[in-house]
Amino acid sequence: MMKIVTPITELRTQINEWRNNKQCIALVPTMGNLHDGHFTLVQQALAIADRVVVSIFVNPLQFGATEDYQTYPRTLAEDSEKLAQLGVHLLFNPMVTTIYPSGMESTTSIQVPKLSEILCGASRPVFFKGVATVVNILFNLIQPDKALFGEKDYQQLLIIKRMAADLFIPIQIIGVPIVREPDGLAMSSRNHYLNPAQRVVAPYLFQILNEMKTKIAASQREFTRLESEAIESLKQLGFNPDYVSVRCRHDLTIPTPQDKKLIILAAAWLGPARLIDNIFCDL
């Protein structure tokens, strides 16, 4: 039977009981509107822990002033039904005032410099501070042994790993591969923003990343030119690209000729949806 918990006191009582019984706890933090990408995280969490906590919290701190905080899809009834079916033990669904008792403007925040300023951080300046802060709060409230995050937000995953390492947070951070629609589009709650015509175009983002990967595998090493060509192709298709970038997988720096484990990342607007995607590329 899945418990749905809002107050912190109730959350703590349950967590303490599990910890006293030496049970391994895994956390899957989400903003709800769950899809198969989230359910894969949950299934993996269930396979590696005794107790699984899923949090659903649309975190206002990670949305810019002009972004979609108010309209972000909220589907708690469907989400909780599905999580209960999967066998999740506790759904934590806090209120904004519970997470930020001093108010959002006055709350203590976590900044992961450099890594938060590039790629998505360049066009979404408050995003990663909001993510790192809320994830740290959730870690402190739930004190899980493991926490699982999707690799679609690869920069977010690295920032959380860096935060955990720098602050000596004793939680294993686990990245889980992207789950895709049959046509290749990476699953995302924001895919619902696409109209039918945009939805047909959206999978080209992944196709273009795949084409870049093929070219790099065929020894093309002029990454800047490949990035510009990809941006041009995206524009031709009707995207408004934010970036396409070949980076080192371990720290998202620009690769040197010695670097062999790469990742190609992209973010592009398609109508009202800002889509992100990435693909690993080993030389």
Q: Which residues are designated catalytic?
A: 38
For position 157 contacting ligand PAF by CB under 6 A, the verdict is no
- Name the nearest CA neighbour of 124 among 175, 185, 61: 61
Alpha carbon separation from 188 to 36, 125, 151, 210 (Å, rounded): 9, 21, 12, 19
| 30: contact with ligand PAF by CB under 6 A | yes
Span interacting with ligand PAF, options 29-37, 214-222, 231-239, 258-266, rule CB under 6 A: 29-37
Question: Looking at beta carbons only, is 138 or 281 nearer to ligand PAF?
Answer: 138
**Residue 31 makes contact with ligand PAF by CB under 6 A:** yes
Measured over the CA atoms of residue 229, residue 233, residue 234 and residue 240, the dihedral's sign is: positive
As a whole number of Å, the end-to-end CA separation of the chain is 47
According to DSSP, residue 72 is labeled S
Site for ligand PAF in 102-131 (CB under 6 A): 131
Least distance from ligand PAF to the Cβ atom of residue 131, Å: 5
Binding mask 61-80 for ligand PAF (x = CB under 6 A): -x------------------
User: Least Å distance between CB 137 and ligand PAF?
Assistant: 10
Rule CB under 6 A: choose which of 59, 80, 143, 278 binds ligand PAF. 59
Rounded distance between C-alpha atoms, residue 184 and residue 12, angstroms? 40
Site string for ligand PAF, 186-215 (x = CB under 6 A): ------------------------------
Residue 105: CB partners within 8 Å, gap ≥ 6?
A: none
Q: How many residues bind ligand PAF (CB under 6 A)?
A: 10
Alpha helices in 21-114 (DSSP H): 36-48, 76-86, 96-99
Neighbours of 193 (CB within 10 A): 19
Question: Nearest distance from residue 115's CB to ligand PAF, in Å?
Answer: 15
Which 215-254 positions form the footprint of ligand PAF (CB under 6 A)? none
| Residue 2 burial (10 A CB sphere; 0-12, 13-18, 19+) | middle
Q: Smallest distance, Å, CB 278 to ligand PAF?
A: 14
Site membership for ligand PAF, residue 153 (CB under 6 A): yes
Amino acid letter at 13? T
Q: Phi first, then psi: what are they for 26, rounded to 5°? A: -115, 140
Residue closer to ligand PAF by CB (options 60, 238) is 60
With beta carbons less than 8 A apart as the criterion, state whether 5 and 91 touch.
Answer: yes
Give the footprint of ligand PAF on this chain (CB under 6 A). Answer: 29-31, 59, 62, 131, 134-135, 153, 156
